Amino acid sequence: MSSLKVIDLCKTYIINKIQNNVLRNVNFEIKEGEMVAIMGPSGSGKSTLLYTVSGMDTLTAGKIDYFGEEISTLTANEMSDLRLNEMGFIFQQMHMLKNLSIYDNIILSAYHSKKGKDRKKINNRARELMHKLGISEIAENDTNEVSGGQLQRACICRSLINSPKMIFADEPTGALNQQNSKEVMKELNRINQEGTTIMLVTHDMKVAAKCDRIMYIEDGAIKGEIDLGKFTLENSFKDRERRVNNWLMEMGW
Rounded to a whole number of angstroms, the distance between the first and last alpha carbons of the chain is 32
Predicted structure pTM score: 0.92
- pLDDT per residue as tens digits for the range 151-196: 888 998 999 999 899 999 998 888 788 888 888 888 899 999 999 9
- pLDDT per residue as tens digits for the range 94-144: 678 888 999 999 999 899 888 778 899 999 999 999 998 889 999 999 988
Q: Is the pLDDT of residue 234 over 70?
A: no
Helix locations, the chain, DSSP H: 46-53, 76-86, 102-111, 119-132, 148-160, 178-193, 205-208, 237-251
Q: Give the number of other CB atoms < 10 A from CB of residue 163.
A: 13
User: Is 215 within 8 Å of 183 (Cβ atoms)?
Assistant: no
Amino acid at 63: K
Amino acid at 62: G
Q: Confidence band (pLDDT; 50, 70, 90) for 235?
A: low
**What does the pLDDT read at residue 64?**
96
Going 141 to 142 to 147 to 149, the CA torsion angle's sign is: positive
Closest residue by Cα to residue 166 from 63, 86, 55, 74: 86
Mean pLDDT of all residues in 64-69: 94
Contacts of 146 (CB under 8 A, 6+ apart): 102, 135, 138, 154
Percent of the chain with pLDDT over 70: 98
Q: Which domains does the chain have, with CATH numbers?
A: 2-251 (3.40.50.300)
